[in-house]
Chain A
Amino acid sequence: MAAAAASPRDPHGRKRKCRPGACSGWVSPRRFPAAVCTSMDCYTANWNPLGDSAFYRKYELYSMDWDLKEELRDCLVAAAPYGGPIALLRNPWRKEKAASVRPVLDIYSASGMPLASLLWKSGPVVSLGWSAEEELLCVQEDGAVLVYGLHGDFRRHFSMGNEVLQNRVLDARIFHTEFGSGVAILTGAHRFTLSANVGDLKLRRMPEVPGLQSAPSCWTVLCQDRVAHILLAVGPDLYLLDHAACSAVTPPGLAPGVSSFLQMAVSFTYRHLALFTDTGYIWMGTASLKEKLCEFNCNIRAAPKQMVWCSRPRSKERAVVVAWERRLMVVGDAPESIQFVLDEDSYLVPELDGVRIFSRSTHEFLHEVPAASEEIFKIASMAPGALLLEAQKEYEAASFGKCFLDRFPPDSFVRMCQDLRVLNAIRDYHIGIPLTYSQYKQLTIQVLLDRLVLRRLYPLAIQICEYLRLPEVQGVSRILAHWACYKVQQKDVSDEDVARAINQKLGDTPGVSYSDIAARAYGCGRTELAIKLLEYEPRSGEQVPLLLKMKRSKLALSKAIESGDTDLVFTVLLHLKNELNRGDFFMTLRNQPMALSLYRQFCKHQELETLKDLYNQDDNHQELGSFHIRASYAAEERIEGRVAALQTAADAFYKAKNEFAAKATEDQMRLLRLQRRLEDELGGQFLDLSLHDTVTTLILGGHNKRAEQLARDFRIPDKRLWWLKLTALADLEDWEELEKFSKSKKSPIGYLPFVEICIKQHNKYEAKKYASRVSPEQKVKALLLVGDVAQAADVAIEHRNEAELSLVLSHCTGATDGATADKIQRARAQAQKK
């Protein structure tokens, strides 16, 4: 799909008069149906046919706003493609030092609005050109390339090689490839040097052209298979230079009699090449020089000022526009050419789908009328050309027409209308970006927005984003962020004001990264501003690293803590630990309890000694006590060491006023020493047994005396001691000793446990001995345990206890206890009667 630019209105909205050029062989467009033609002839009046199949038209984009005093021919001129800016270097060849005649570099928009103006104070400039990022590259005679921004701000510079210093640069070209923008220079030694991408500068010196004594009559950069070549003409010969070799080439079907090539032109996409010879003959073919497309003899032998291709993507028509001082000629595969008279000194800018032509007073666009436009007369045509040619009327027609097409999806219509509005908006005189639809689609909306941002046209960019409903992150937010980054560079405004202005404008706009803006501010040396901006950054993950980078670690710490992101806190902590001396570090921690706990955690696993220091600093004796207890188990092997560690722990517990822990620790020290002695004297394993188990082990080993002693020394409560002995003796199956023990005094735990433990050891006989001594309230249970169901029933009946009766009953099994069961039932029945 291709389309021409919108209707030829000037920026002020006045309809300009059509200005048909002087054409040779002008014919009225005969292929249109007569009826429609009458209503449309206003639009087709400036259509000029070239051959049988194509029309070319030229219309005005702007009347230029600049007030140029010089002729263009007295300036170095560079205009960026895609409706880009125009740079003029006035007086480029004056060598005098006087300020009044020093060269002046002016930058204008395509509509001639001044963007920047500066006195040129550097060396003589050979050539100007724009990069794809709309940076102005100024190639100096000494091989230095100075890079300026759209607003005349100096960005950087680089050199095209030392060799150039002596030989000077004779000529230079700035060219664009898919990798970016390149520079090619021709030196005084008639050698070429080339860099394919100024963003990633790699200089390539091209091979020598054998026997080249003078500068080539013309040359150009070709780009084939992603490699840049140079094509140059010396007399009747053409040479192709690649990085390895220089080879002579001959265009197929070139007319004889050529003694010199005066001009050559490569198409926008590097696909085609045109050669202008001293015989006034133009050869047109592929850039590979393998195929001739057509030729034309214009019979003008003077070297043209400029020659550029004029074709549109996906069109079969090939045409070249050739400009002399006062004459413009469109030639193609046709016996006739289209000719225009140039009123003024003009400059040609090749575009993707046509040629822009500007002079001191006007800016025009010349292009092939797209095939689609020829179809606009079809009813309800949705051809974009139709829309673009006469947006207003066609819009109405289309929106009217689409009502009749019930299956026509409205999306593309809506999208087209939106695009048209955008194109109209940016073409506005004040903005001055005259893009055609194809150019716009090729450029993409993202790049267009970037260009608006580059021109600091933030409000328009935002309006477009909102109008097209672009996602905020890609659209509005990005633009606001750019604006903010521009804002922080305004050094004459105070930090306070900049921060406030930015926050007012950006607020909480989604997708705006305050930390990116802050980073930019920091990059400009405005740390305080950066910190102020970071205050607005809600994402601590972004905030903290930058604060660290700016050496505001303590602020970073409190921000990290605020976020709750412990990993972030750790990161700052480790940073602080390296940055501060230990004392300061600890003090910082002290004021941040959350950080302190985290750091303690870290130390627990990584730096135990530091943990101790931390506790010491905080006088946290309780934790110090625990710390030494752990140490007594982990670090110490020898008993003395362990006891010493425990002593330290006990002291700490006293300081912590934890009497219980201190005493328990002292007991443990006593126990440890004792266990060591027991091991020495009795053999076996005692260390690290609990007191309870130590006593048990002694009993099991038959050391009852020692066991008693130990129990007394450590004041084991009577009840537990009885359980302990009971369990140990039963384990030993020392029934005799158990019985003796049971009779030693009245059991503090009763006698049911004796019964239970005997049963557990499967000794019913022993169990029975104790059953009789069990207290009345537990008697039934005991009797059941020893299997005396009948007696259990008697006791239960005597107790008149319903729960006990049920319990006994549940133990009555079938035949054997039948009588008992009956007895219980009778007792129950009796109880119920009463």
Chain B
Amino acid sequence: MAAHLSYGRVNLNVLREAVRRELREFLDKCAGSKAIVWDEYLTGPFGLIAQYSLLKEHEVEKMFTLKGSRLPAADVKNVIFFVRPRLELMDIIAENVLSEDRRGPARDFHILFVPRRSLLCEQRLKDLGVLGSFIHREEYSLDLIPFDGDLLSMESECAFKECYLEGDQTSLYHAAKGLMTLQALYGTIPQIFGKGECARQVANMMIRMKREFTGSQNSIFPVFDNLLLLDRNVDLLTPLATQLTYEGLIDEIYGIQNSYVKLPPEKFAPKKQGDGGKDLPTEAKKLQLNSAEELYAEIRDKNFNAVGSVLSKKAKIISAAFEERHNAKTVGEIKQFVSQLPHMQAARGSLANHTSIAELIKDVTTSEDFFDKLTVEQEFMSGIDTDKVNNYIEDCIAQKHSLIKVLRLVCLQSVCNSGLKQKVLDYYKREILQTYGYEHILTLHNLEKAGLLKPQTGGRNNYPTIRKTLRLWMDDVNEQNPTDISYVYSGYAPLSVRLAQLLSRPGWRSIEEVLRILPGPHFEERQPLPTGLQKKRQPGENRVTLVFFLGGVTFAEIAALRFLSQLEDGGTEYVIATTKLMNGTSWIEALMEKPF
């Protein structure tokens, strides 16, 4: 079911199995038939852990969405609430429980807090007089969810906002807990590196938690050699730029949610002759995107400009394979051909889907506006005209292009100029308020608090120094056969990934100066291992580094890290973890505030 999780250097299926076991154990505690009442936000992430069939095997007969007033009738013995520990949800649960029909058959209530039990919430339930109604109140520590063979995410939407705007470290605590779970399964990670304030805190919590857990001496041979904790605010630039990998573009244009994407159905209509296309499907086409699909695994991380040639090559191979049937003469040959059919048909289906998606994307990327936007982005990132009001942005505002697009560009300019001149900043802000409405002043405040938008202080622009030292802009980029991570943005090498790359070789000591310019402390911690567990590396054996992006990561950054993993003389393979898979749009969206 989740074989793709075990292809990588680290078998993440182990983690998935562990969380599935925990879920089954909980379900079995509530003997008899069950109904689950879902905090809607959880259904997506849970889908990656357990399908309905698993729940059904454990007598889950009904599923509802958590909402106010009375629970729907269901002839079950147990009603289990799967919720995040949030006060507003407790109020709804209490309402559900209090309005339970006493005349009906008595049902047992249980709560499963995801990912952590909360005293605060239990106090609230107590205050509302329903705490005693719950037989089991437990936690399900689903912190890091395996998305792919090398990718884990907490899918915590507000993590960035909470950490950097509101001073709420809850998600950092969960991150540290998740890392502890990971270490329990994959061994203690001997070295921890980090950059940024939040990274420091997570490392501190981990060290502290390790002391708490001394009871269970970890005797697992370490799978990870290093952990690199990176604050998102060390690299605010990368997510703002438009991702140019295949997967990145799908996400930019259609948005990938919990590894699923919804696409306009027209392109996927089954082609029938004489139909005239009058029965076009109206429901969005939903596709799961992960490396379980061979073709997708091959093209997801390529620059979009390199995808077309792969697709056409594949098309030729597949049609050639189908042509083989004419050469099959003997019964044996036909039999062999038939045995390959299912695989070939799957490959053909996959090819058809991705050809359609590529066409959809191409429509966007070949548009003039996309080109103009990209030109402006690239100008900013390569340091051209970042200090004055940009015509294109002005025009976008005047034509009321989407506010998020405008904000992304303005923020990008601000970041690439280490802040905007007060006059330029005020001009943009005024234009935005006048055009999109005064209420967005709250959003602007948020962006300023997050450091995405700011006046230049001290009149010094550090970005060129950073760009040159870290070689963030590469003029000679090869999109077809890349030689550097800059291919993922067709020229711009993501800062965050550059930091990871330089850490592994030659080490951060070479870039001390730039590290000091970037916000937050950088540090290194060692977690001593018992001698029996110390690794003796075979010559040529790669190290495994877990890179944890606190505050979110984009698909382009993931692609860049995968590129580094695959480099023949790279020496390091990467596994990626994050609080949230995101892109510039979803990121800015989470920071927006709409008072009405």
Q: Inside 8 A of B436's CB, which chain A residues have their CB?
A: 690, 692
- Can you add 12 more A-B contacts, CB < 8 Å, to A472-B215, A598-B168, A601-B162? A508-B214, A563-B208, A565-B173, A597-B167, A626-B445, A632-B595, A661-B441, A691-B433, A692-B436, A720-B394, A749-B395, A749-B398
Contact sample, A vs B, 14 pairs, CB 8 Å cutoff = A508-B214, A562-B208, A571-B120, A571-B123, A596-B167, A598-B167, A598-B168, A630-B442, A630-B595, A634-B596, A664-B441, A668-B438, A719-B398, A720-B397
Known: A510-B214, A563-B208. A720 touches B431 (CB 8 A): yes
Tell yes or no: B56 within 8 A of A by CB.
no
Question: Can you name the residue of chain B whose Cβ is closest to the Cβ of A690?
Answer: B437
Q: Inside 8 A of A660's CB, which chain B residues have their CB?
A: 426, 429-430
Q: Inside 8 A of B385's CB, which chain A residues have their CB?
A: none
Interface string of B164-176 (1 = CB under 8 A from A): 0011111011001
Tell yes or no: B99 within 8 A of A by CB.
no
B435–A689 touching, CB < 8 Å: no
Contact of A564 among B119, B201, B431, B433 (CB under 8 A): B201
- How many A-B contacts if CB must be within 8 Å? 134
Task: Give Cα A259–Cα B217 distance, bound, in whole angstroms.
Answer: 71
Chain B 250-278 interface residues, beta-carbon cutoff 8 Å to A: none
Task: Give Cα A660–Cα B427 distance, bound, in whole angstroms.
Answer: 10
Known: A473-B215, A564-B208, A629-B595. A664 touches B167 (CB 8 A): no
Task: Give Cα A716–Cα B214 distance, bound, in whole angstroms.
Answer: 66
Tell yes or no: A568 within 8 A of B by CB.
yes
Tell yes or no: B204 within 8 A of A by CB.
yes
A564–B169 touching, CB < 8 Å: yes
B596–A688 touching, CB < 8 Å: yes
Residues of chain B touching chain A, judged by Cβ–Cβ distance below 8 Å, are 85, 87-88, 116-120, 123, 162, 166-170, 172-173, 176, 201, 204-205, 208, 211-212, 214-217, 394-395, 397-400, 426, 429-431, 433-439, 441-442, 445, 595-596
B217–A510 touching, CB < 8 Å: yes
A690–B87 touching, CB < 8 Å: no
Q: Inside 8 A of B400's CB, which chain A residues have their CB?
A: 692
A689–B437 touching, CB < 8 Å: yes
- Give B94 Cβ to nearest chain A Cβ, in Å: 15
A538–B217 touching, CB < 8 Å: no
Q: Inside 8 A of B215's CB, which chain A residues have their CB?
A: 472-473, 477, 510-511
Q: Inside 8 A of B87's CB, which chain A residues have their CB?
A: 605-606
Q: Inside 8 A of A720's CB, which chain B residues have their CB?
A: 394, 397-398, 431, 434-435
- Give A798 Cβ to nearest chain B Cβ, in Å: 23
Q: Inside 8 A of B211's CB, which chain A residues have their CB?
A: 508, 538
Q: State how many residues of chain A have any CB contact under 8 Å with chain B.
A: 57
Task: Give Cα A562–Cα B208 distance, bound, in whole angstroms.
Answer: 9
Contact of A690 among B119, B435, B442, B595 (CB under 8 A): B435
- Give B88 Cβ to nearest chain A Cβ, in Å: 7
B394–A719 touching, CB < 8 Å: yes
Contact of B123 among A574, A667, A749 (CB under 8 A): A574
Question: Can you name the residue of chain A whose Cβ is closest to the Cβ of B431?
Answer: A720
B441–A564 touching, CB < 8 Å: no
Contact of A597 among B168, B173, B438, B596 (CB under 8 A): B168
Contact of B438 among A565, A593, A690, A749 (CB under 8 A): A690
B212–A727 touching, CB < 8 Å: no
Task: Give Cα A692–Cα B382 distance, bound, in whole angstroms.
Answer: 33
A665–B437 touching, CB < 8 Å: no
Chain A 746-783 interface residues, beta-carbon cutoff 8 Å to B: 749
Q: Inside 8 A of A668's CB, which chain B residues have their CB?
A: 433, 438
- Give A719 Cβ to nearest chain B Cβ, in Å: 6
Tell yes or no: A724 within 8 A of B by CB.
yes
Tell yes or no: A671 within 8 A of B by CB.
yes
A597–B216 touching, CB < 8 Å: no
Task: Give Cα A622–Cα B448 distance, bound, in whole angstroms.
Answer: 12
Q: Inside 8 A of B395's CB, which chain A residues have their CB?
A: 723, 749
Tell yes or no: A570 within 8 A of B by CB.
yes
Output the residue of B435, B437, B438 with the most chain A CB within 10 A. Answer: B438
Tell yes or no: A600 within 8 A of B by CB.
yes
Chain A 652-706 interface residues, beta-carbon cutoff 8 Å to B: 660-661, 664-665, 667-668, 671, 688-693
Task: Give Cα A665–Cα B440 distance, bound, in whole angstroms.
Answer: 11
Q: Inside 8 A of B442's CB, which chain A residues have their CB?
A: 626, 629-630
Question: Can you name the residue of chain B whose Cβ is closest to the Cβ of A689?
Answer: B437
B398–A723 touching, CB < 8 Å: yes
Known: A567-B116, A690-B436, A690-B437. A597 touches B595 (CB 8 A): no
Q: Inside 8 A of A714's CB, which chain B residues have their CB?
A: 434
Tell yes or no: A717 within 8 A of B by CB.
yes
Question: Can you name the residue of chain A whose Cβ is closest to the Cβ of B438?
Answer: A668
A564–B437 touching, CB < 8 Å: no
Tell yes or no: A633 within 8 A of B by CB.
yes
A671–B438 touching, CB < 8 Å: yes
B167–A593 touching, CB < 8 Å: yes
Q: Inside 8 A of B118's CB, which chain A residues have their CB?
A: 567, 570
Q: Inside 8 A of B595's CB, which chain A residues have their CB?
A: 629-630, 632-634
Known: A511-B215, A719-B398. A629 touches B441 (CB 8 A): yes
A564–B172 touching, CB < 8 Å: yes
B394–A691 touching, CB < 8 Å: no
Known: A564-B201, A567-B116, A668-B438. A538 touches B123 (CB 8 A): no
Task: Give Cα A455–Cα B503 distance, bound, in whole angstroms.
Answer: 58
Tell yes or no: A566 within 8 A of B by CB.
yes
Tell yes or no: A73 within 8 A of B by CB.
no
Question: Can you name the residue of chain B whose Cβ is closest to the Cβ of A714?
Answer: B434
Q: Inside 8 A of B166's CB, which chain A residues have their CB?
A: 597, 600-601
Output the residue of A567, A626, A689 with the most chain B CB within 10 A. Answer: A567
- Give A576 Cβ to nearest chain B Cβ, in Å: 13
